[in-house]
């Protein structure tokens, strides 16, 4: 019987092993990209407890993680960004859609097209907010429910840095969260 490898979740104390543990060494070597800088800043919030609408190093939610990293890198106020995921994506203030990730179903997503620090928005096929669907795919509406920063591939699975609802900021498999489709933007 083949046992599946357990999900890898890197704790803060393991940060020295991140380049060795993940198959993203080549990508991480390009430290001049805005995405890498966002990832690097967001990584500093590892283990901060999740709290809905949290925007500090004591309590943080998924949008707060991206917003605080954005402020740390650009020195621009996160308060000037929309807290509506649909408007945030549409504005392009956190980057434009990655080709092939303008709204793609989970089973069609080619995660090898993403780079470290791309902002990934997970979508569900039911109404998650009051602003109308974020994207329509094949005539069906999808709404953003969660977001995080792409970290790379490990054992053919996409990993990301996220403020996991009900838990804390962690690095884990993206597929540990439910989603039907996704959008990714590149800062």
The pTM of the full predicted model, rounded to 2 decimals, is 0.84
| pLDDT at site 187 | 93
How is residue 175 annotated by DSSP?
G
Range of the domain at 72: 15-186
Six-digit token string for 136: 């329509």
Q: Please give the Cα distance from 185 to 121 (Å, whole number).
A: 8
Q: Please give the Cα distance from 116 to 135 (Å, whole number).
A: 24
159 inside domain? yes
Six-digit token string for 141: 């509406």
| pLDDT at site 30 | 63
Contact of 159 with 147, CB cutoff 8 Å: no
70 SS3 class: helix
Contact of 72 with 149, CB cutoff 8 Å: no
7 inside domain? no
Q: Tell me the CATH number at 163.
A: 3.90.1720.10
- Which of 19, 44, 7 has its CA nearest to residue 151? 19
Q: How many structural domains are present in the chain?
A: 1
4 inside domain? no
Work out whether the CA dihedral 167, 51, 56, 62 comes out positive or negative. positive
Residue linked to tokens 């060494």: 25
1 inside domain? no
| pLDDT at site 16 | 36
Contact of 165 with 59, CB cutoff 8 Å: no
> Tens-digit pLDDT profile for the chain (187 aa)?
333 333 444 333 333 334 433 444 334 446 788 999 999 999 999 999 999 999 999 999 999 999 999 999 998 989 899 999 999 999 999 999 999 999 999 999 999 999 999 999 999 998 877 778 999 999 999 999 999 999 988 888 899 999 999 999 999 999 999 999 999 999 9
Q: Which H or E element spans position 25? A: helix 25-28
3 inside domain? no
Residues 6+ apart with CB under 8 A from 132: 86, 141
Burial of 183 (0-12, 13-18, 19+ CB in 10 A): buried
How is residue 57 annotated by DSSP?
S
158 inside domain? yes
| pLDDT at site 1 | 34
51 inside domain? yes
2 inside domain? no
């Amino acid at each position: 019987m083949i046992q599946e490898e357990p999900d890898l979740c890197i704790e803060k104390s393991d940060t020295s092993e991140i380049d060795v543990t993940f198959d993203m060494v080549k990508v991480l070597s390009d430290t001049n990209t805005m995405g890498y800088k966002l990832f690097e800043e967001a990584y500093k919030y590892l283990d901060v407890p999740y709290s809905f609408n949290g925007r500090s190093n004591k309590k943080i939610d998924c949008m707060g993680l991206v917003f605080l990293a954005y402020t740390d890198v650009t020195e621009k106020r996160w308060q000037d960004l929309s807290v509506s995921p649909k408007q945030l994506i549409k504005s392009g203030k956190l980057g434009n859609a990655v080709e092939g990730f303008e709204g793609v179903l989970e089973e069609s997503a080619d995660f090898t097209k993403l780079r470290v620090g791309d902002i990934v928005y997970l979508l569900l096929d039911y109404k998650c907010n009051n602003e109308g669907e974020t994207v329509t795919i094949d005539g069906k509406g999808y709404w953003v429910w969660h977001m995080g920063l792409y970290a790379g591939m490990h054992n053919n699975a996409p990993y990301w840095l996220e403020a996991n609802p009900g838990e804390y900021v962690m690095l884990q498999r993206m597929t540990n969260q439910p989603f039907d489709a996704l959008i990714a933007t590149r800062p």
